[in-house]
Structures are given as structure tokens and as C-alpha cells.
């Protein structure tokens, strides 16, 4: 039999590797494809099962291949690793993916929609900006402390420090130091505005998403956590139990847990981690 029924596709930035087998498991095709050739190649094929590792760009390619008509299944990379024979390379990875996707006990990652990935991007962008803001605020506090200027802890008190920096009448700061600190203060304000803008977008997404709104009815769960869970967990049936889903949230988001409950160890297990690769 020469008709391809299952394909393992090893993703990359520019050069993709294809490994296809027929219904009896005989290798039918081994092929390297440039990025521009991938969709054209799969368009010419009859409907088949395509396996992908749940890595960067996997959800995009899964949606594209589903649009063409193929059945696409994503798998955590750590589950595919066991099927790699000897030396690791693109061809071996594609063959391992093709083998793993046919296993009856394999666990798969649901394909995220573009909307869900956009919501997760809001969270990741916000998280990065918050880290940058924290670093700048700490630097501003440290530099001002060298001149005896301090303020109580908390982001709400940073405005006092910024006011001192911009008060030219205050003689505690030399002119060269004031110029540098003004740059830091401006960056803090810009980051604060950017974080607030992203939070408004998260709230708007939350109000438009019924799943997120239902999650927010749980005590201790607000819009930020609700949107994170709604965008991350495509199908709750992917978890074996409520305990498994709770572990998955902890692993994916670090510290998401109901109020009053101790944090679980954020380590992957058989019950968690199938919703990674955002």
C-alpha cells in the first residue's frame, strides 16, 4: 500500500521534515520541505493523520492543516522523545513523531484557537512589562537611597519618589543624578501605562468570554486568573480529574490556586502539563 495514512511533521523556522507511512506502517515518504512548500505539499495529499510536537508555532500549523482537511494531533515533546532512535536529527524526530501519534495510549494537546493564543499573549506581555517595571522601580529606589531619599514600600508610593526627582527645588539630588533618574522615572510611568492598557484588554476579553465569566464566580478567582485558565485549558476533559487540572494550572502559571489552599509542587507529572506550548 502506497497511500499515506499517517505523517510525522518536525517543525522548524525554515526547513521542515516529513515522515509518512501507509496503513501497514511501511515508510512511504521522507522529505525535507521549505516553509513555503509545506501547505502546498499537504494540499496535494488525501486526508490523513498528521502528528506534531506541541512546541513553538505548533498551534498555528495545526490550524492551517486542519483547514486543508487533515486530522492533526499535538503531543508534548517529552512524550515523543522516547520514540527517537539513536542519533537525534530532523529525520529521526519526524519518524518518532509519526510513531508516537499512532500509539493508543498517547496523550494529546488540544489545538488552541487564534483568540486563545491572543489572550495568552496578553498575559505574557503583561508579565514581561511587570517584571521590567519592578526592576526599574527597584533601581530608582536604590539610587535615591544613596542620597537619603526613601519612600514606603509599595508601587503606590513610587509617585512620591518621582515627584522628588522632578522637583528642581530639592537640593538633595545633584543635577547629573537628577537627569539619569528622570529617565528612569519616565520609563516607569510608560510601563505603568502599558500594563494598565493590557489589563483593560484582559477585562474586555473576560467580559466577552462565557467560560472566563463562569470561572470568575469561584471564590478567590478574579478576571486575571479566570482569563488565564480559560485561554490555557482548551478542553477540561484532557485532565483525568479536578486534582489533575489544578496541578496543571500550577505548572503552567506558577501560582494559580484557590484562596486558602497550599501551593502544589510545580513539577510536570502524568496528570499535568499537557496544555503547555502556548
Q: What per-residue confidence (pLDDT) applies to 275?
A: 40
Q: What per-residue confidence (pLDDT) applies to 271?
A: 39
Give me 44's grid cell.
Answer: 496535494
The helix/strand count (H/E) of the chain reads as 10, 5
List all residues 6 or more positions away from 148 whose beta carbon is below 8 Å from its beta carbon: 172
Instruction: Give pLDDT tens digits for 143-158.
Output: 999 999 999 999 999 9
CB count within 10 Å of CB 14 equals 8
Instruction: Give pLDDT tens digits for 161-216.
Output: 999 999 999 999 999 999 999 999 999 999 999 999 999 999 999 999 999 999 99
Query: How many Cα atoms sit within 13 Å of 83 on the Cβ side?
Result: 21
Q: What is the DSSP string of 139-158?
A: HHHHHHHTTT----SSGGGH
CB count within 10 Å of CB 46 equals 9
Q: How far apart, in Å, are the Cα atoms of 79 and each of 56, 101, 108, 214, 245? A: 16, 10, 10, 32, 19
Q: What per-residue confidence (pLDDT) applies to 277?
A: 43
- Cα gap 210→207, rounded to integer Å: 7
Give me 93's grid cell.
Answer: 524526530
Instruction: Give pLDDT tens digits for 6-18.
Output: 999 999 999 999 9
pLDDT band at 231 (very low <50, low <70, confident <90, very high): confident
pLDDT at 235 over 80: no
Q: Are 188 and 140 in contact (CB under 8 A)?
A: yes
Q: What per-residue confidence (pLDDT) applies to 237?
A: 62
pLDDT at 251 over 70: no
Q: Which has the closest alpha carbon to 186: 169, 164, 162?
A: 162
pLDDT band at 240 (very low <50, low <70, confident <90, very high): low
Packed helices 223-232 and 175-208: angle between N→C axes, nearest 10 degrees: 60
pLDDT at 234 over 50: yes
SS3 248: helix
Q: Is the pTM of this model over 0.85?
A: no
Q: Are 256 and 229 in contact (CB under 8 A)?
A: yes
Q: What is the DSSP string of 80-126?
A: HGGG--SS--HHHHHHHHHHHTT-TT---BPPPPHHHHHHHHHHHHH
Q: What per-residue confidence (pLDDT) applies to 88?
A: 87
Instruction: Give pLDDT tens digits for 46-104.
Output: 999 999 999 999 999 999 999 999 999 999 999 999 999 888 899 999 999 999 999 99
Average confidence (pLDDT) over 116-125: 93
Q: Are 74 and 8 in contact (CB under 8 A)?
A: no
Q: What per-residue confidence (pLDDT) applies to 260?
A: 45
Instruction: Give pLDDT tens digits for 93-102.
Output: 999 999 999 9
Q: What per-residue confidence (pLDDT) applies to 233?
A: 82
- Stretch among 128-132, 155-159, 249-253 having the lowest mean pLDDT: 249-253
pLDDT at 236 over 90: no
What is the enclosing helix (H) or strand (E) of 71?
strand 71-75
Give me 151's grid cell.
Answer: 519612600
Q: Which long-range contacts (CB under 8 A, 24 or more apart) does 152-160 make?
A: 158/188
Amino acid at each position: 500500500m502506497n497511500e499515506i495514512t499517517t505523517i510525522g511533521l518536525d517543525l522548524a523556522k525554515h526547513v521542515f521534515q516529513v515522515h509518512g507511512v501507509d496503513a501497514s506502517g511501511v515508510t512511504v515518504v521522507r522529505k525535507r520541505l521549505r516553509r513555503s512548500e509545506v501547505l502546498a505539499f499537504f494540499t496535494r495529499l488525501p486526508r490523513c493523520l498528521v502528528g506534531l510536537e506541541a512546541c513553538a508555532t505548533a498551534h498555528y500549523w495545526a490550524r492551517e492543516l486542519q483547514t486543508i482537511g487533515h486530522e492533526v494531533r499535538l503531543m508534548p515533546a517529552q512524550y515523543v522523545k522516547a520514540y527517537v532512535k539513536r542519533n537525534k536529527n530532523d529525520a529521526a524526530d519526524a519518524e518518532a513523531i509519526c510513531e508516537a501519534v499512532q500509539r493508543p495510549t498517547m496523550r494529546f494537546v488540544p489545538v488552541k484557537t487564534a483568540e486563545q493564543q491572543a489572550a495568552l499573549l496578553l498575559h505574557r506581555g503583561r508579565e514581561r512589562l511587570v517584571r521590567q517595571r519592578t526592576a526599574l522601580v527597584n533601581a530608582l529606589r536604590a539610587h535615591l537611597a544613596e542620597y537619603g531619599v526613601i519612600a514606603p514600600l509599595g508601587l503606590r508610593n513610587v509617585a512620591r519618589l518621582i515627584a522628588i526627582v522632578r522637583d528642581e527645588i530639592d537640593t538633595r539630588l545633584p543635577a547629573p543624578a537628577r537627569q539619569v533618574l528622570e529617565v528612569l522615572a519616565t520609563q516607569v510611568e510608560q510601563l505603568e501605562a502599558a500594563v494598565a492598557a493590557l489589563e483593560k484588554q484582559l477585562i474586555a476579553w473576560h467580559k466577552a468570554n462565557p467560560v472566563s465569566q463562569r470561572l470568575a464566580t469561584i471564590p478567590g478567582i478574579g478576571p486575571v486568573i479566570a482569563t488565564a485558565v480559560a485561554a490555557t485549558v482548551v478542553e477540561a476533559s484532557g485532565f483525568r480529574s479536578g486534582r489533575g487540572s489544578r496541578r496543571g494550572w500550577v505548572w503552567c502559571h506558577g501560582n494559580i490556586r484557590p484562596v486558602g489552599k497550599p501551593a502544589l509542587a510545580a513539577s510536570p507529572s502524568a496528570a499535568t502539563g499537557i496544555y503547555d506550548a502556548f
